[in-house]
Structure 1
Amino acid sequence: MSLLTALEDGVAVLTLNRPEVHNAFDDALIAALTRAYESAIADPAVRAILLAANGASFCSGGDLNWMRRMAGYSHDENLADAEKLGRLMQIIDTAPKPTLARVHGSAFAGAIGLIACSDIAVAVPEAEFAVTEVRIGLIPAVISPYLVRAMGVRQARRYFLTAERFSAEAARTLGLIHEVVPAADLDTAIARHLKALKAASPAALKATKALVAAVDQPLSEAVIADTARRIADQRASADGREGLSAFLEKRKPNWGQA
């Protein structure tokens, strides 16, 4: 199974379980995550939702086979596909229950969106991050509202444009990660946060999340729809198709002019 789910002492633990591909996600995993978050939100026994991963990486971004399929998608198919990822991000971001991310290894591309949507994110010092889309002729459209909100516009410009890797400590400074702890202390840190959350009133936690969203001017349906359209446009563009083809064929892309 690509996603493992468990209820542990009031915590819905969702574990990415594709270690052979560094937990790269595809349409099936996106659908599984969407169902798992929706189920955890609806379950009165769940007090908090924890996203974790098996293997060497948290998530390396998009799965190669999924990208191969996307390379042949029509614009409408790309739009429908992007809207599903956008829906997942929105569900995590607006969940009325606390959401946490336990991060180790690599977290690239869309994986950073999952982290930015979570209420609390803890990583190990060895974790690496990158917003890699431009290297294959794409744009980080669907995850962009959450990353820009977390990092700020100025930093987002740099990391979106360069696709450079940055460390866990840099991610903490940027606001993507709340805490960086040694690997041996990662579960202890997560348990500490969960203990604090479970000591609070569930109704108050829900109301507090709604309060933060209200004062921060939440994302609109129009913005979410626009990001899906933008990535669908880019995927179907000449550079989007060339970038994906070059990436899959392990060659240098031949970019057109903007």
Structure 2
Amino acid sequence: MPETLMISIDERGVARLTLAREDKHNAMSAGMIDELTEAANALGSDRNVRVIVLAGAGKSFCAGGDLEWMSAQFQASRAERIAEARRLAMMFKALNEVPKPLVGCVHGSAFGGGIGLISVCDAVVASETARFGLTEVRLGLIPATISPYVVARIGSSAARSLFVSGRTFDASHAKSIGLVASVVPLGDLEWAINQEVVEFLAASPQAAARAKALARSLATPITDEIIDNVITQLADTWETEEAQAGIAAFFEKRR
């Protein structure tokens, strides 16, 4: 049984994949990364699953990287950082290529890796009160591992603005750049998610899988070379004086 996720499948074949680290605002740990990869592979191959809903328990969808995991990267060697970045990259790849409709249900905070999770979904509904951010540059880092999926989702123009400023933004802006498809009051979120699910259930499962692969094949491909490149750029950035100073200041709770 997974320790960081809750997984259920209803009689319609709708799988609910819920991030379950409420006390950490569902920040991604090494364990969660592994469990999400395993869940994507298992649900993707389960013939009884028609649609997957990705959600977060508690007050947030996903607050990004877990602090303990980030602290470990701060102390790690270059080879160890590359290995961890690759583990994260393979998780996003598995979710992006899962042959089932993937519907994101977003509330609360969605930062860093949380935006990466949104970007690999086929449809996303967010609550009006959700907040978003790609704040890595404010620590002297870059949003490298998630960047191919984020750029594929919102385009390079919107990505450049958000990547470089690190500013936070609201659900209305998230919709305007195509990060989310619709925005509803928090009380209507589950209803709106079900409306998306019903539409996907109307499709032939095999045709839906092929159509999803078709759409992905017509976009800019996210190849192994691209993944290797962004991982290398992240490793290079971790070694800069700015990153070392920024991350140290973050953990020491100083400016």
The TM-score, its normalising length taken from structure 2, stands at 0.96
Between the aligned partners of 2:169 and 2:181, the Cα distance in structure 1 is 15
* Residue type of the alignment partner of 1:45: N
2:67 aligned to which of 51, 64, 68: 64
Q: Which residue of 1 aligns with 2:29?
A: 26
Contact 1:49 1:98 in 2 (8 A): yes
Q: Structure 1: which amino acid aligns with 2:178?
A: G
Is this contact kept in 2: 1:4–1:14, CA < 8 A?
yes
Please say if residues 63 and 111 of structure 2, whose CA atoms lie closer than 8 Å, have aligned partners that are also in contact: yes
CA distance in 2, matches of 1:84, 1:69: 14
Matches of 1:14 and 1:95, distance apart in 2: 13
Determine if the alignment matches structure 1 residue 199 to structure 2 residue 202: yes
Alignment match, 1:7: 9
Preserved contact between residue 122 and residue 177 of structure 1 (Cα < 8 Å): yes
Aligned to 1:48: 51
Letter aligned with residue 25 of structure 1: M
What displacement does 1:239 show?
Answer: 2.1
1:50-79, Cα deviation, whole Å (9 max, x unpaired): 111111111111111111111101000000
Task: Quote how far apart the aligned CAs of 1:240 are.
Answer: 2.0
The equivalent position to 1:181 in structure 2, one of 177, 184, 196, is: 184
Equivalenced residues, count: 252
Q: Which runs of structure 2 are paired with 1:153-172 in the superposition (5 Å)? A: 153-172=156-175
Moved more, 59-68 or 232-241: 232-241
Match of 1:133 among 133, 136, 143: 136
Q: In structure 1, what residue type is equivalent to 2:254?
A: R
The residue type paired with residue 187 of structure 1 is: E
Q: 8 Å contact 2:152–2:220 — kept in the other structure?
A: no
Q: Distance between the aligned counterparts of 1:199 and 1:156, measured in 2? A: 33
Q: How far apart, CA to CA, are the structure 1 residues paired with 2:81 and 2:239? A: 8
In 2: Cα distance, 1:73 partner to 1:241 partner: 12
Residues 173-195 of structure 1: per-residue CA shift (max 9 Å, x gap): 01100010111111111111111
Cα distance between partner residues in 1 of 2:21 and 2:44: 24
Q: Secondary structure at the match of 1:152?
A: helix
Q: More displaced, 233-242 or 96-105?
A: 233-242
The CA deviation string for residues 71-90 of structure 1, in whole angstroms up to 9 with x for no partner, is 10100000000001111111
User: How far apart in 2 are the matches of 1:76 and 1:165?
Assistant: 31
* 1:130-159 Cα deviation digits (max 9, x unpaired): 001011111000111111122221111111
| Matching residue within 92, 99, 121 for 1:118 | 121
Deviation at 1:169, TM superposition (A): 0.8
Aligned partner of 2:89 among 66, 86, 99 = 86
Q: Indicate conservation of the 8 Å contact 1:74/1:236, yes or no.
A: no
| Alpha-carbon distance in 2 for matches of 1:6, 1:205 | 21
Question: 2 CA distance for matches of 1:108 and 1:114?
Answer: 10
Amino acid at match of 2:219: D
Q: What amino acid sits opposite 2:244 in the alignment?
A: R
